[in-house]
Structure 1
C-alpha cells in the first residue's frame, strides 16, 4: 500500500497540490476518519464536555490478520513514532505527526515540541491560521462547495426507502436530516464517518496542529501553510453529483465507523501506531462483504491514498526545501509520515538523516 501509483494525476503547482480533476470514492468511510477529520471539523464544534470511549479493536483483531499487519509494519519505513528530527548539513527539521482533534494528552507533545518551536525560523503546517480563516470565509460565501444549493436535494434524488435509511444514519451521527438532505453526497459521507461522541468533545478542532500554531504565534515564530486547503474540497467534489450518489449508496451498504473504531484510532495515535491502525482498517475494508471485488476495493484504496496522502507528501517537499531558515518545525497529520511515500522517507531521499526524537 506504500507504493507510488503511476496512474494518479500529478499537479504542476506544488502549493496547490490537489487542484486536479481526480475524485475520491465515497465508499471508503471506514478508512477516512483519520485522514479527513480536519474537513469535517470545520463545522462541527460544540460546547459540550464528552469524549469517545470504547474497545480497542487492535486487541480483538484476528491473530492471522494482526500477524499480517506486524509483518507489513516491519517492512514499512518509519512505521512507528510521532516525533522525528531530520538533519542535512546545518539544516535541522523537527517533524511531528499531529491529530486534528482535541485531547488533553496533547499537552505532553506540546511541551516536547516547545524548545524546537521557540528556536525555529518557521513552523510549517498543512494550513496556518490565516489560510484556515480564508477557507472558512470561502465556504461561508460559496456554500455550493459542500451543500446542494441548486436543484433537488437528496430527499428528491433518492427513493424514499433509501433516504429514510440515510436520514436515520445521519441522525445517529448527530446530523439533522434536513441538513443531511442538503449536503453534497461526498460531504455527507465524510460527516457521517465521525461518531456522535466526537462531535461532543470540547473545542473539538483544537488539535495538536492548532496548539503548536498557537505556541509559535506566542513565540513570534512565523507559521506557514504547506498547501491551499481549498484544494481538498475541490478534490472531493470533482465527481459529478449523480456519481457521488451512487457512491453514497455503496457507502451506506457498508459497516460504519463507530465509537470503537474512533477510539482505536485515537489510542493508536497516542501509542505512535498510526500505521498499524491504517493497515487494520484497510484489511477490514478489503475483507468486508461488498458488491465490489477485492481488486476494485484495492484500487479505490490506492487512489484514495495517492490523492490524500502520497501526492500531497511529494508536493510538500519542494515547499519545505524552499522555506528559508536552518531550523524548521513541520507539523502534519501523523498518517503522512510512514512509508516509502511518506514525508520522512521523501526527506531521507533528499539527503536528510532521520532520527526518532521521542520514544
Structure 2
C-alpha cells in the first residue's frame, strides 16, 4: 500500500476508534479555552433507563478462579439514546459486582480534559490556514459553523484536535450522545449503588495516543474528516448494529482487522499495547478476591490480540456468558 493510502486508512481508523472521546470533547470544547472551562462545570447526566435489547444483546465474557469472578463487557462509548444494550445477563453481572472498571475511571469528568486541550490540542505556532488547501478550508469553515464554532478561532488547533472536534458534528446531528454511552450509564449506577469505580489508564494517556501521532497522520485524519464529513456516521452505525446483536466477528472485521492490515503502528498503539497492559492488570485482580465488572471498548475484546486472547495465552480461562 502506498503512503497516501496508508494515511487515508489510518485516518479513517482513528476517526471511528475515538468517536467516544470526540463527543466527550463536544461537551466541553467551545471555540475558546474559556468557554470550555465554563461548560466543564456542568455535570454529565446519564439517562434514567436503557431501551430494551433486540435479540441476545452485546457479548459478555467471564474470567474466574477459586475466589474471583471478573466479567468482561465490550462497550461503545457513545450511542443513540434509542440503542438497547442491557441484556438480563449484563444486568445480572453488573449487579453482582462489588467493583467496576473502565478504560478510565472518570469518563464524565469534563474538567479533566480542559488542561489537556490547552497542552496538547492548541499550538500558537501552528496554523491550519497555511496547511490546508482553499477547498479544504471551505469545508473546514462549513463544518465548524455546523458545530457552532468559529473556524478562525480554530486555526491554531493541532490537526488531531481539529479533526476530532469536526468529526463530532455529523455524529451529533445523527443523534449520537455521550450521555447515552455505556460507561456514563454504568458509572452513574455504580456510584448510586456505592460501587468503587476504577480505571486501567488515565485520560492523559488516551489523549497522548492521539497527540503523539506523526504530523502526517494527523493531517490525513483532518483531511479525511473534512472529505467524508457527510458520510461519517455510516461505519459507526454499522459497528453499533453489529455490537448490539453480539456479532464479535463483524466487530473484528470492521475495527480490528482493517487497522491491523492498513496501519500496523496504530494497531499496536491503540489495541495491542493497551490490551497487554489491561491483561496484566486483570491478572493482578485475579490474585485478589471478589466480583468485578469490566467495560472497555468493544474492539479491545475482538480479534487475535484481544484482552481475552492475551489472557488465554497465559493460561487464564475465559468463557463467553450465554
Q: Displacement, 1:254?
A: 6.9
Instruction: Report the counterpart of residue 310 of structure 1 in structure 2.
Output: 272
Q: Displacement, 1:207?
A: 0.9
Q: Displacement, 1:240?
A: 6.0
Could you report, residue by residue, the CA deviation over 1:43-84 in whole angstroms, capped at 9, with x for unpaired residues? 22499xxxxxxxxxxxxxxxxxxxxxxxxxxxxxxxx95211
Equivalent residues of 1:93, 1:329 under 8 A apart: yes
Is structure 2 residue 100 aligned with structure 1 residue 126?
Answer: no
Q: Displacement, 1:147?
A: 3.3
Instruction: Report the counterpart of residue 152 of structure 2 in structure 1.
Output: 178
Instruction: Report the counterpart of residue 63 of structure 1 in structure 2.
Output: none
Instruction: Report the counterpart of residue 37 of structure 1 in structure 2.
Output: 19
Query: Could you say which structure has the higher helix fraction?
Result: 2
Task: Give the direction of change, closer, same or farther, for the CA distance of 1:173–1:148 in structure 2 (3 Å limit).
Answer: same
Is structure 2 residue 169 aligned with structure 1 residue 207?
Answer: no
3-state secondary structure, aligned to 1:182: coil
Instruction: Report the counterpart of residue 198 of structure 1 in structure 2.
Output: 172
User: Please, which of 235, 243, 250 is the counterpart of residue 269 of structure 1?
Assistant: 243
Equivalent residues of 2:183, 2:295 under 8 A apart: yes
CA distance in 2 between counterparts of 1:339 and 1:240 reads 26
User: Please, which of 325, 329, 332 is the counterpart of residue 296 of structure 2?
Assistant: 332
CA distance in 1 between counterparts of 2:176 and 2:230 reads 24
Is structure 2 residue 79 aligned with structure 1 residue 117?
Answer: no
Task: Give the direction of change, closer, same or farther, for the CA distance of 1:109–1:301 in structure 2 (3 Å limit).
Answer: same
CA distance in 2 between counterparts of 1:317 and 1:282 reads 18
Task: Give the direction of change, closer, same or farther, for the CA distance of 1:180–1:273 in structure 2 (3 Å limit).
Answer: farther
Q: Which runs of 5+ in 1 are unaligned?
A: 1-23, 48-79, 286-296
Q: Displacement, 1:160?
A: 3.3
CA distance in 2 between counterparts of 1:33 and 1:275 reads 21
Is structure 2 residue 308 aligned with structure 1 residue 344?
Answer: yes
3-state secondary structure, aligned to 1:42: helix
Q: Displacement, 1:192?
A: 3.6
CA distance in 1 between counterparts of 2:235 and 2:192 reads 36
Equivalent residues of 2:136, 2:226 under 8 A apart: no
Equivalent residues of 2:170, 2:230 under 8 A apart: no
Q: Which runs of 5+ in 2 are unaligned?
A: 1-5, 29-43, 45-56
User: Please, which of 153, 157, 163 is the counterpart of residue 137 of structure 2?
Assistant: 163
Instruction: Report the counterpart of residue 210 of structure 2 in structure 1.
Output: 236
Instruction: Report the counterpart of residue 154 of structure 1 in structure 2.
Output: 128
Bigger CA drift: 173-182 or 320-329? Answer: 173-182
Instruction: Report the counterpart of residue 91 of structure 1 in structure 2.
Output: 68
Q: Displacement, 1:209?
A: 1.6
CA distance in 1 between counterparts of 2:186 and 2:75 reads 9
Q: Following superposition of structure 1 onto structure 2, how do residues 19-30 of structure 1 map, counting pairs within 5 Å? A: 28-30=10-12
3-state secondary structure, aligned to 1:144: helix
Could you report, residue by residue, the CA deviation over 1:114-135 in whole angstroms, capped at 9, with x for unpaired residues? 3333332321111113x753xx
Equivalent residues of 1:100, 1:208 under 8 A apart: yes
CA distance in 1 between counterparts of 2:129 and 2:88 reads 49
Q: Higher relative contact order by CA 8 Å / sep ≥ 6: 1 or 2?
A: 1
Bigger CA drift: 228-237 or 182-191? Answer: 182-191
**Which TM-score applies when normalising by structure 2?**
0.73
3-state secondary structure, aligned to 2:101: strand
Q: Displacement, 1:106?
A: 5.9
Instruction: Report the counterpart of residue 65 of structure 1 in structure 2.
Output: none
User: Please, which of 110, 114, 117 is the counterpart of residue 143 of structure 1?
Assistant: 117
Q: Displacement, 1:173?
A: 6.9
